[in-house]
Every structure is written in C-alpha cells, then in structure tokens.
Structure 1
Amino acid sequence: MVAERYFITGATGLVGSYITRKLVSEGKEVHALKRKDSSLELVEDIAKQITWIEGDILDVSLLFEILPQMTYVIHSAAAVSMLPKDKEKVFKINIEGTANMVNASLKSPIKKFCHVSSVAAIGVPENAHLVNEKASWNEDNTNFIYAKSKHFAEMEVWRGIAEGLNAVIVNPSTVLGVSSLNKSSGQIFNRLRKGIRFYPKGKINLVDASDVAEIVYHLLHHEVSNERFILNAGSIAYKDFFAKVAQVLGTPVPKYALNQSVLSIAYFLSQLASLLGITKTVLPKEIISAMQSTHTYDNKKITDLLHFKFKDLNQSIKEVSEKYKKTK
C-alpha cells in the first residue's frame, strides 16, 4: 500500500509551521514547498522529518509534476502586506499562486484540498457586530489590498470546487503563535517588547496557531467538503490585549488611546512625507479603519461541526507572550 503524502505550501511561515508540526507529530509523510532563500527557523527541530521541494507556487510546471504524487494538499502560502506599493506582488502570489495550486490539484488524484485563507477575505456588513461565513463581500475602498487578494484567491478555490475539487476553506483571525519578530503577529509582540505608549480603540480577533493546525488536520479527514469555516477564539479590546502582553513582557502598559482624529493626522503626515520623498510608505486608510473596528467573528459553524473548544484567549496570550519574552 502506498503511503499517504501530505503536501503543504507556506510551511516555513507562522500558520504553516504549526500545521506542519501537527502533521509530523501524527507520523504523516510530509512534503513541503519552500523557496531557495526560505528560513527554516520555525521548523528547525523537525526539518529533517520533512521532504523539502525547492520552488514556489508560481512555478506551474513544478506543481503539475509534484501534486499528482500527493494525497492531501494544504495551501498555506501567502504574501501579507497592506501597502499599495506591494499590490502587484500580493495579488500575483495570493491570487495567481492559488489558481496554480487549484489547477494542478484538479489534474491530480488528491483526496482533499485545504485552503488557508483569512477573515480578511470575509465581507463585513456595515455596523456588524457578529460576522459569520454568510457575510457578503463588498467591493469598495474599505477592503485593503491583502483582503482583496485573499477574497479573489478564495474565488479560485470555489471555481475549483465547481470543477470537481474536493476542498475546504478556513478563515483564521489574527493568529497567536511564535514567528519571526518582523512578520505576522510577531510584529505586534516586537513593538510591545520595545515599549509603546498608545493603543487603538477597537477590538482584535484572535485564534491560537495550535488550534488552527488542529482544525485543519481534522477537516482534512472529515467528510465535510465545499465549505468555509471561520477560526476565531474571540475578540478583545486592543487596550486589554496590549496590557496583558506588556505585563508578561515586563514592559510599560500602553496608556493612551489612538482616537480617529489622531489617526487621521498620522495618515496625513505619512502622505505628506511620501510626497516630499522622505518615505515611500503611506499609512493606508484601511489600517486606520481596522484599528477602530469592534466586530467579532462567529466560530459557531466550526465548533458545531467538530465539537471543538478553542483555547482560552487569556491562556494563549500568556503562553505566546512568555515565548516571545525569551526570544532574543
């Protein structure tokens, strides 16, 4: 009997590394795609238990060569940026790359395809307080570049489903886990390690990376198909989140709220600095909007299906903060 093979993209990133670790812990045969210059820092201890394939998701011929040999496919790779200057890169990797993965999977005898998306890809109705999988996408200027790229990437998966692909989509909120300090949620912890005085007035939705990995694993082997699932443990005010992290890190707790007028001034100054050639980075309005949002993403669909209990947010925040405290 031929062993089942699990193929994953994005294994060296935050979410992908946790999924890869889960697969390895279950004794699965894992094949992972990585770029030539990818750091194995997050999977260093299990790197030798993985069959690495050098390349990327824009290499169509490689995907069509490799995927027919696989049993399950987890697509976790993505480019993350909210900056206008990165639009072409983000769209190419997230949309075209996903289309390549879907097309190669359609031509392969795989059992199931799992697409790791984001809650950013879900439409948020105006004045919404609790958002579920049925929310309608609104094509307007409030949806930032990354969100649009993930939304259209999902459309490629739904197109694949219509063509016969057995697939599921997961939409994690902000993922709590250990990553590089200049990437993913690691950037938040890094800023708090250095000490900041201000906090946004909105809420942040969070989910533990280990929960995401656990759910992806179970969905791969569950009979459910052609569905999307929000993965979110809950929401917490930025003020409280920052305070909890700062207390563990031993840094000052941010005391001052960033209100709309302050953020608007910051946006204006970043635009002015860009026009004067001082910096090429302009603070996107979408980030300002996101920092003021107060909605929560509903996890009922996945908890009902798998009878899953998400890790307590306070526990996750404490555990991850303690790990970052030890990071040099």
Structure 2
Amino acid sequence: MHAFVTGGTGFLGANLIEQLIADGWQVTAMHRPGSNIQRLQALGATPVEASLDDVASLQRAMSANVDKKVDAIFHLAANTSMWRGGDKQQWQDNVVGAGNIARVARQQFVGQGAPGRLIVTSSISAYGYHTSPIDEASAKLADDPKHHYHYSKKRAELAVREEIAQGLDAVFLNPCGIVGKYDVSSWAQTFFMIQQDRLPGVPPGSGSFCHAGAVARAHIDAFHKGRCEENYILAGTDASFLEFFGKIAELVGKPAPTTTTPAFLIRAMAQLQDLAARLSGREPALTPQKAAMITRRVVASSDKAKRELGYRDTVSLDEMLRESRDWLVAEGLLKLSDSRSDELGASGG
C-alpha cells in the first residue's frame, strides 16, 4: 500500500507516518519548500516538495513515485493560527488547500480509474462552540469569521464535499486536543512555560484530550473502515485546564497552580494585546480567538468512532502527558530539575 501524506512534518503527521511504516506502507510525504525534512527521512518516508496552493505541484508530487500508485491520501496539513493578521493566509492554507488536494485526489482516484480514498484531518473546531458535549449530530456552528480558525475548518470540509459530490471517496476525522510525542509547538509550549516559570495564569475552560498515537491509528482505520462523507470525532479524556496544567507542573517538578484567571480578565487582556498588535503588526501571545477557546468548555463524544472505526481512547491523560514530556526530554528540548531527572531515569523513561 502506498500513502501520500500532507502535513508530515507536523507532530500528528510524524505519529501517522511512524505507524504507516510499521504497518508496511510505502509513504510519500509532501513538504513545503524550505521545510526541515530530517524527521521524515528518519521515519522512513520519501519527501516530496509541493504547495497546497499550487495544483500543478500537487499533481507532480502525487505522480513522483510512478512505480507505485497512491492508495490513500492523508490530508493532515493545516494552518492553526488564531490571529486575525494571519486570516488571509489561513484561508489559502485551510480552505483553498483542502479544495486543491481533494480535486487532485478525485483526478487521481476517479479520473484515472485508480481506486483510492482521501482521509481529511478536520477538527472539533469545525463544530464551533456548544454548551453541551459535541457529537456528529451536533450542528456545525463555526460561521463567525472573527473565529477564523473554526470558520476555515468548517469551510475546508465544505470544499472537500464539493469533490465528493463529483465522485471522490473521502472521510473526515475531527480530533480534539491532541497530546503525545513529536509535539514541539502545541501543548508542548505549556511544558516550556511551566518549567521556565513563565505561565501567566490558568484559563477557566476545559476540553477533551486525545492521544496522538490513537488519533494516528484512527486515520489508518478510517481508510479501511470509514464511510464516505462521514465525520468521526476523536475525543478522549475530559479535563479542565487547571487539572491539565497541574499534571504538567507535577511532571516537570513545579508547584501545581491552584486557581484560574477569570474569563472576563483573559478576554480583556486579549483585546488589549490585539490593539497593540494593530500598531506593531506582530502576532500577540494572547489573541481574542485564543481567549474565546480557552475560556469555554469544549468537550465531545467518540462513540461513533469507537463503534465504526474501533477507535481506542483508553490512554489516560497522565500517560499522554508523560509520553510528551519524555520525548521532549529525550530530544534535549526540555530540561528537568535534578530530582525529576533522577525519577525519570529510575523509571526507565
């Protein structure tokens, strides 16, 4: 089997490629010009350069390995910015990019009579904000352009559905907060802030957290078992940010936070930083979009994915976070206190 993967240089992409290779797949991993491809090569993937906004480059990349037809396209690449200054580029990356990869996939699989399937990594954010747990029957409420990441993820799905209407076989996965190894820019940032005593406060929100390895496996299972056009939400352990940050603090040997910062204060700080960013042109640490997300309760159900894909959400939050920490330490990206390092060595981590 031959897989073509976008977003392979990201941390979910690394987990997926690792599992595909272990399963005996041949993997071609698309990367943008100038990307660091060392991990792709180390994992055993064949890197190929292309851009999501360039259909011709995607077509060339897809046919680069002509001795082995592509059986599956895993579209993981996404722009996760939550700053209004990046909205224009985010639209190109998420919406135009999804439409382009879906169009090329249709040409590859339908136009050339080569059976195959597109697996799209969407997000729980495509459903917008709800006051009750989200499942696949929930309305997709991400219709406010001010929350542009959410807005773009819903419209990325719609762009793919246009190609499904013309014969493309595609399945959508909607992960929640992904935690695990290979992460350097997502929740890993919280490890760095807490370890360096730079955490400005704890937001009052909560979320569903899922294991990177389980999410990667769900992508492979979606290729084999998923139903065309269907969404599959991938959730896991529900936790408040106070609990989540507390567990990270314990893992890096720091005092756990005991209180949260009121939502109104976080949103006010975000507005002030956004005003300053209008003058400086630089993305602030806290944006109104981020503030909206971290001050709400966004939890979801994985029942459909468990039932139809065999999705396994049995990895505890403690295990997810420990895996993330141990990988950061092993890579030399996170330095622990001497006592915590001794404990890590004694545990064989």
State the TM-score, normalizing by the size of structure 1: 0.90
Specify the SS of the correspondent of 1:256.
coil
**Which residue in the other structure is 1:34 paired with?**
31
1:247 is aligned to 2:242: no
Cα separation, 2, equivalents of 1:259 and 1:130: 22
Cα separation, 1, equivalents of 2:247 and 2:135: 27
Which one-letter code corresponds to 1:39 in the other structure? N
Do 1:73 and 1:110's aligned partners in 2 also have CA atoms closer than 8 Å? Answer: no
**Which residue in the other structure is 1:119 paired with?**
124
**Which residue in the other structure is 2:47 paired with?**
52
Which one-letter code corresponds to 2:128 in the other structure? G
1:146 is aligned to 2:149: yes
Residues 228-237 or 188-197, more deviating: 188-197
Q: How does 1:131-210 map to 2 (within 5 A)?
A: 131-138=134-141, 140-141=143-144, 144-179=147-182, 181=184, 183-195=185-197, 196=199, 198-210=201-213
1:105 is aligned to 2:105: yes
Q: How does 1:220-299 map to 2 (within 5 A)?
A: 220-222=223-225, 224-274=227-277, 277=280, 281=284, 283-299=286-302
Q: 1:273-296 CA deviation, whole Å, 9 max, x = no partner?
A: 335649553843232221121231
Cα separation, 1, equivalents of 2:203 and 2:39: 29
Q: 1:4-50 CA deviation, whole Å, 9 max, x = no partner?
A: 3211111110111111111111111111111231123544532xx22
Kindly state the Cα deviation for residue 267 of structure 1 after the two structures are TM-superposed.
2.5
Change (3 A) 1:70 1:279: closer
Residues 217-226 or 22-31, more deviating: 217-226
Change (3 A) 1:264 1:219: closer
RMSD after superposition? 2.2
**Which residue in the other structure is 1:15 paired with?**
12
Do 1:175 and 1:208's aligned partners in 2 also have CA atoms closer than 8 Å? Answer: yes
Residues 315-324 or 101-110, more deviating: 315-324
State the TM-score, normalizing by the size of structure 2: 0.85
Specify the SS of the correspondent of 2:53.
coil
Kindly state the Cα deviation for residue 79 of structure 1 after the two structures are TM-superposed.
1.4
Residues 236-245 or 191-200, more deviating: 191-200
Do 1:84 and 1:145's aligned partners in 2 also have CA atoms closer than 8 Å? Answer: yes
Cα separation, 2, equivalents of 1:139 and 1:45: 38
Residues 271-280 or 289-298, more deviating: 271-280
Which one-letter code corresponds to 2:187 in the other structure? S
Change (3 A) 1:184 1:95: same
Cα separation, 1, equivalents of 2:190 and 2:153: 21
**Which residue in the other structure is 1:324 paired with?**
328
Cα separation, 2, equivalents of 1:121 and 1:225: 18
Q: 1:67-117 CA deviation, whole Å, 9 max, x = no partner?
A: 364111111111120000001111101111111111111111241110011
Kindly state the Cα deviation for residue 272 of structure 1 after the two structures are TM-superposed.
4.5
Which one-letter code corresponds to 1:249 in the other structure? V
Cα separation, 1, equivalents of 2:48 and 2:40: 15
Specify the SS of the correspondent of 2:202.
strand
Change (3 A) 1:93 1:110: farther
Change (3 A) 1:188 1:143: farther
Length, aligned pairs only: 320
Do 2:82 and 2:148's aligned partners in 1 also have CA atoms closer than 8 Å? Answer: yes
Q: 1:110-154 CA deviation, whole Å, 9 max, x = no partner?
A: 4111001111111333xx221111221235548611111111111
Change (3 A) 1:22 1:275: closer
Residues 188-197 or 116-125, more deviating: 188-197
**Which residue in the other structure is 1:61 paired with?**
56
**Which residue in the other structure is 1:304 paired with?**
307
Specify the SS of the correspondent of 1:30.
strand
Do 1:271 and 1:282's aligned partners in 2 also have CA atoms closer than 8 Å? Answer: no
Specify the SS of the correspondent of 2:168.
coil
Do 2:171 and 2:229's aligned partners in 1 also have CA atoms closer than 8 Å? Answer: yes
Identity %: 23
Change (3 A) 1:229 1:223: closer
